[in-house]
Chains A and B, each alone.
Chain A
Amino acid sequence: MKATRNSVPVSRGSWPRTWPAPVALFVIFALGVALIVFAGDGNSVLSHAGEACVAISPLVILYKFLNIFRRNSL
């Protein structure tokens, strides 16, 4: 891995580096929805685990967003 002049971490031609995170987020989200639907009544441990899974994707975006302010620059 190296940094380009635009500070984008690059790994030459390696598609797998693009996909694991999005796929993991999608699988976790889908698992969360499945747990919530399976749990049914909305108050069980399974349901809360599902809610936690669903909450992970936006946290990643929120982290990147907050990082802007940490660096104090867009």
Chain B
Amino acid sequence: MQPQTIKKLHSWHAWSGLLSGINIFILSVTGAILVFVHELHHAIGPELPLHITTDRPEAYADAPLAPVVAAMQAENPAAVPAGLGIPTVADHAEDPDHFIYFLEMHPADDVGGSDHDRHIAYFFDPLTREFAPKSDVVDIPEWIWYLHANLFLGFAGQIFLGIVGIAFLISTVTGLIIYGPFMKGVFFGALRRGLTWRLLLADWHKLIGIGTLGFNLLMAVTGILLTLGQVLINLYSYSVISSLEPVAFEEGASRHAIVSVDQVVATARETFPDKNLRWISFPGQLQGDHHYVAFAYEEGRFFSRIPYVALINAYDAELSLTVDLPWYITMIYIAVPLHFGDFGGLPLRIVYAFFGLSAGALSVTGFIMYAIKYRRRRYEGVDSDVANQNTPAASRETARSISGGLS
């Protein structure tokens, strides 16, 4: 490889790392914490305002939901139901405390549900018809989640983090390419002690970077999918909706004319008899005003993240369409467990947390190395470190040939 090429790649590596560094550090630390989000919820999460105490979760399969949804709506006349979460028997087996129904409501004037601060959430028990609003206590795990997912900036933050992910991917790939020339003749994991801090940091930076290469590539790619993939999901949703036949309904019919959620649940369960129905999205969301959308999932920990989707007519509860997700949308859903590591047991999650912190360590070591080099260039006007950088004879030759002081 030509010295100029290596220099150019190093420049890409440094600048992409510097531009994404602070965000990667935040994502690294919050990601390592979020790997244990279930344990965190148990330890420091706010207590659920309502519990369903039952030994027979099967008894809830036919529980009517519409009366209690109507009661919650009556308490908030300015809001409309947006989504309804349905727990499964498997949820009860995993954690009885989290076998709870959930209703999310949006202000009627918040088209698309983008104003998260005004959303209202209720937990409820459809058999006793008790319901309670979500606690106002700061939910620290949820706070960390939003910091990691969108920096509290909603969709814009998600897109920004997608761009950070691309910079991280560039930094990782260019780091891999320039690893060879700098390690020429040096054994894997060699650490030069007794010289300068910068050289030791550089060696650690290379060791951590190359040792976690696979993981960091995985995180970068799945992170990009999960952030920028939302745009694809939105576009695909619009294309599905626009492909539907126009729904026949009377002019001036109001949203009160829509069928009850129980009829929709019945149709969805009939459509996906061997799947777990988990979420019903009410008309007025991404799918437009004329359909409910039902999301059902398989059992299991990995492919259980891929939804089976059905659009159900809001005026007669007939099935309008089952959606066959294209491969690129399926990839986005598969990226979720790969990114968060929650598809395995505790040992895998510990490994994920350790790996996760490595990206933060790369950001810190990379930044310190750059700061030392910048200071030296600024105040001394030379970069005397270059010749010593790759002290083994073979790589010193490489370092001499690359002017400009690479690390």
Interface residues of A (CB under 8 A from B): 4-15, 17-22, 25-26, 29-30, 33, 36-37, 39-43, 47, 51, 54-55, 57-58, 60-62, 64, 73-74
Contacts and interface: CB of A to CB of B under 8 A. Distances in A.
A58 B391 CA distance: 26
Nearest to B189: A64
Given A4-B391, A41-B302, A64 B191 contact: yes
A10 B354 contact: no
B210 A22 contact: yes
A61 B185 contact: no
B354 A58 contact: yes
Give the interface centre of A7, A12, A21, A57 by most chain B CB atoms within 10 Å. A57
B49 interface: no
Contacts of A13: 184-185, 394
B212 A57 contact: yes
B32 to A, nearest CB: 12
A60 to B, nearest CB: 5
B192 interface: yes
A40 B300 CA distance: 8
Contact of B180 (A12, A15, A47): A15
Contacts, number: 135
9 contacts: A10-B185, A12-B394, A13-B184, A18-B185, A21-B189, A29-B213, A55-B351, A61-B212, A64-B189
Given A13-B394, A36-B344, A42 B189 contact: no
B345 interface: yes
Interface of B: 179-180, 183-195, 200, 207-208, 210-215, 218, 299-303, 334, 338, 343-345, 347-348, 351, 354-355, 358, 391-394
B397 to A, nearest CB: 8
A42 B300 contact: yes
B210 to A, nearest CB: 4
Nearest to A20: B188
B321 to A, nearest CB: 27
5 cross-chain pairs, A with B, having the tightest CB-CB distances, nearest first: A29-B214, A21-B188, A42-B301, A10-B392, A41-B300
A71 B185 CA distance: 24
A62 B300 contact: no
B180 A19 contact: yes
B330 to A, nearest CB: 12
B384 to A, nearest CB: 16
Contacts of A39: 302
Contacts of B207: 61, 64
B188 A51 contact: no
Contacts of A5: 391
A14 B186 CA distance: 8
Contacts of A55: 347-348, 351
A17 B211 contact: no
A30 B214 contact: yes
B193 A74 contact: yes
